[in-house]
Amino acid sequence: MERMGGLQSARSGVSSPRFVSDAEAKKLIRKARAGDRTAFSRLVRAYRPRVAALAYATVRDYDDAADVCQLVFIKLAQALPTFDDDRRFFTWLHRITINAAIDWLRREQRHSHEPLSAISGSLASSRGNPAEVHRQQVIRREIGRCARRLDPVSRRLFIARAWQGRSPEELRQTYRMPSSTIRWHIARARNQLQRDLRSRLSARWAYDLKPL
């Protein structure tokens, strides 16, 4: 995947893009400000490996670091008009990267503690039927346990879509991911949850997650 380029290069030993000096970076910034997309692409290619490595050093997860890296360059594109030419470019980019990585970690910590009691909304009420109440309690508990085993991105997107009822468009805007990537994460989470539930629950308690 393109967004993993910097991390893949670092792990595989693939040669990195040509080093760009601070003076060259500032020339590219001036061109990018004037609407030169090629100049901005060159800037991204030149600095992606360092941004990716810095993001990974902070979040300690390759997938999360790739997402942070992608977010950093979105922020960079938005912030170019405010760049002070008297500053060193990488010092500025370093700060953007660290702030983005810290924000990511805070958001991850918040989501990792989200109450999975939201799951209860996906299970019908069965008052008056003790056997069915017990069955759903077991299912609810097992879904919570299985959900905690999902990777953070897939868990967060699945919970937002399946249990919080957020639309695909809301997720795309909130997490700044392509719709195809969001669908992949959600389908991956659903399939893993379904497999885990089938392995943990007996046949008489089988529970099928509804397609999203």
Mean pLDDT by 10 residues, the chain (212 residues): 47 55 94 93 93 85 82 91 92 91 73 44 51 67 77 82 79 84 87 79 54 51
pLDDT of residue 10: 42
Q: How far apart are CA 71 and CA 69, in angstroms?
A: 5
How far CA 125 is from CA of 38, 61, 130, 174, in Å, comes to 57, 39, 11, 32
pLDDT of residue 133: 65
pLDDT of residue 58: 80
Spatial CB neighbours of 15, under 8 Å, sequence gap ≥ 6: 9
What ranges do the domains of the chain cover? 2-111, 114-205
pLDDT of residue 157: 85
Angle of the 37-59 helix axis to the 89-112 helix axis, nearest 10: 50
What pTM was computed for the model? 0.50
CA nearest neighbour of 198 among 190, 209, 207: 207
Spatial CB neighbours of 85, under 8 Å, sequence gap ≥ 6: 26, 29
Q: Do domains 2-111 and 114-205 have the same CATH topology?
A: no
pLDDT of residue 207: 53
CATH-assigned architecture of domain 2-111: Orthogonal Bundle (1.10)
pLDDT of residue 109: 59
How far CA 41 is from CA of 28, 32, 38, 186, in Å, comes to 9, 9, 5, 30
Pick the CATH number of 114-205 from 1.20.1730, 1.10.530, 1.10.357, 1.10.10: 1.10.10
Q: How far apart are CA 187 and CA 10, in angstroms?
A: 29
Rounded (5°) CA angle 6-51-151: 70
